[in-house]
Structure 1
Amino acid sequence: MEKITRISNELKDWILQTLKSGVNPESIVAAMVKKGFDQDFAYLTMLRILNNQSLKTVDGNQSPYMYESIEIAKRGNIITTTDREVKVLLKMDKPCIIYLDNVLSIEECDQLIHLSTNRLQPSEIIDPITGEKKAVPGRTSKGAYYHLNETNLIATIERRIEEITSHPLNHGEGLQVLNYNIGEEYKAHFDYFPANQIDMDKGGQRIATFLIYLNDVGAGGETIFPKVGLSIVPKKGTAVYFHYGNSHGQVDRMSLHSSIPVITGEKWVATKWIRQTTICQNSQMNEVLT
């Protein structure tokens, strides 16, 4: 079988992200070789990346990401749902980032934190090379996962997200609640999958993220979009929506983001990842249980 001796921009980005999260270069090279990359090519690629040298990619001439009109951006400055009015506080087109107020009530935020406290587990990432879940130093939060409509509270929040974004409920992964204590962070990363990890049986590529802030943070804990110089300060009940996948199968590399370390207090957020198509219920349950 012929060994792989080419690398895409997307995979290069994910290698950089994985290095920043604390995974050592030898482990990444070993994973590349396991996935069919030529060993010498894998080592040379890693050396070039570590030394900030230019690296030729197979999609070096790839067309720029094509921004498309999305439903949430057409809704005006106030989005009306079944049970509340959500206010648009900030809107950016390229990349698509929308900051929203009054997404959850104070009581709903407190209830979700209380519900999640006793089921927190160390957060993991999906390895961009192997597809395996693993804990890494660059993601130091703890998380709790829910399947769709698991409780009345979860069902209410899921329905509201569907109404705000116009994405069908079954296009979304189950809600994830994350807790960051002092010094904890999630280094710069993308939420979309590398091309070799897209599973159409599980809804295909991630195309958008809906991130809800469940508490105020005394200092630190901002969500940073470094390629556009944007910093979102956590405010209880607000949410940030960002869209990074289009109908042509492209992903927006401008969506790179991080959660910087908490300096004072703690940080609670709820994350909803949205896929390009329907996720079957069995896949939802498997994601929660594994």
Structure 2
Amino acid sequence: MAKIMQISDELKDWIMDALKNEVSPIALANALIKKGFDNRFAYETLFKIVGNEAIGTTERQQVRYNYKVPEIGRKGNILHASDRVVKVLSRNEKPFVLHLDSVLSSEECDEIISLSRSRLKPSRVVDTGSGEERAGSGRTSRSMAFRFRENELVERIEMRIAELTGYPAENGEGLQILNYGLGEEYKPHFDFFPPHLVDAGKGGQRVGTFLIYLNDVAEGGETVFSKAGLSIVPKKGSAIYFHYANEQGQLDRLSVHSSVPVKKGEKWAATKWIRESSIYQRY
């Protein structure tokens, strides 16, 4: 079987992200080789990227991302869940980012923080070479994840997100709670998986992220989409939904984003990553 001798823009972006998070170039090259890339090509490509040299990418990936407004963006400026009415504060088209008000009540925010506080651990990142989770210097928060439908509050939030986005609750990963202390951040990154790590048997690729702010941050902690010139200030109970994958399998590289350092106080947030198909068996 012929070895792979070309690399996509998406994979290049993920390699660069991994290098920023201190993954060894050798480890990344070996991961490419295991996936069928030519040995020499893999090593030369990695060291060109490390040396900031230009590399060629596949013609297919040079096609401009085909934007299609997701279902949540076609519902107007007032969204209805079975237990809540949510107003759209603003929207950005490229990348698609919808800013929503009062997705959770103040009491719900306080309760989910209380339920998660004792279970927080240092946040981890996905190693783009092995697919395993590990510590990363670019992500300095603490976090935990609830199991799907773990309790009444989590299930209520999951169903609300499903009703707002139009994606079944079973497509969502476990609700992750994040806590950023003073000076903590998450450097620029993508939420979608590198193509070689997508597992169709576990829901496939991530297509969108629903991020809920659980407290007001005194200063700092904004979510920044640098390529769109967009900065979202955390407001308790508000949320953003951003979409970055289409039906053609393209991934929107304009969706690169970061959580800038907290300058005063702390930041709490809840994240629901949504995949293209069901992760769990329906019941």
TM-score (norm 2): 0.93
| 1:53 correspondence with 2:62 | no
- Whether the aligned pair in 1 keeps the contact of 2:23 and 2:127 (CA below 8 Å) is no
Aligned equivalents of 2:19 and 2:281: distance in 1? 34
Contact 1:212 1:238 in 2 (8 A): yes
The whole-number CA distance in structure 1 between the counterparts of 2:249 and 2:114 is 38
Check the 8 A contact 1:35/1:129 in 2, yes or no: no
How far 1:215 moved relative to its partner?
Answer: 0.7
2:13 corresponding residue in structure 1: 13
Aligned residue number for residue 93 of structure 1: 93
Whole-Å separation in 2 of the counterparts to 1:281 and 1:69: 28
SS in 2 for 1:118: helix
TM-superposed deviation, 1:46? 2.5
- Residue 12 of structure 1 and its aligned partner are, at CA, apart by 0.4
Cα deviation digits, residues 75-122 of structure 1 (max 9, x gap):
111112222221101111111100000100111000000000011122
- Preserved contact between residue 123 and residue 135 of structure 1 (Cα < 8 Å): yes
- Worse-superposed segment, 38-47 or 178-187: 38-47
Tell me how many residue pairs correspond in the alignment.
282
Match of 1:190 in 2: 190
- Give the 3 Å change call, closer, same or farther, for CA 281–142 of structure 1 in structure 2: farther
Superposed displacement of residue 126, structure 1? 1.4
- 37-46 or 120-129, which moves further after superposition? 37-46
Partner of 1:216: 216
Q: Secondary structure at the match of 1:28?
A: helix
Q: Which residue identity is paired with 1:80?
A: H
Q: Distance in 2 between matches of 1:61 and 1:267?
A: 36
Question: In the alignment, residue 274 of structure 1 is paired with which amino acid?
Answer: I
Give the distance between the partners of 1:58 and 1:24, measured in 2 at CA.
Answer: 24
Partners of 1:33 and 1:201 in 2: how far apart? 23
What is the one-letter code of the residue matched to 2:217? V
Alignment-mate amino acid for residue 89 of structure 2: L
Instruction: Tell me which moved more, 40-49 or 106-115.
Output: 40-49
Residue 255 of structure 2 is aligned to residue 271 of structure 1: no
- The residue that corresponds to 2:22 in the other structure is 22
Q: Is the 8 A contact 1:91 1:98 kept in 2?
A: yes
Identity fraction in percent: 54
> Unpaired runs of 5+ in structure 2?
none
Secondary structure (helix, strand or coil) at the match of 2:224 reads: strand
**Contact 1:214-1:269 at 8 Å conserved across structures:** yes
Amino acid at match of 1:180: Y
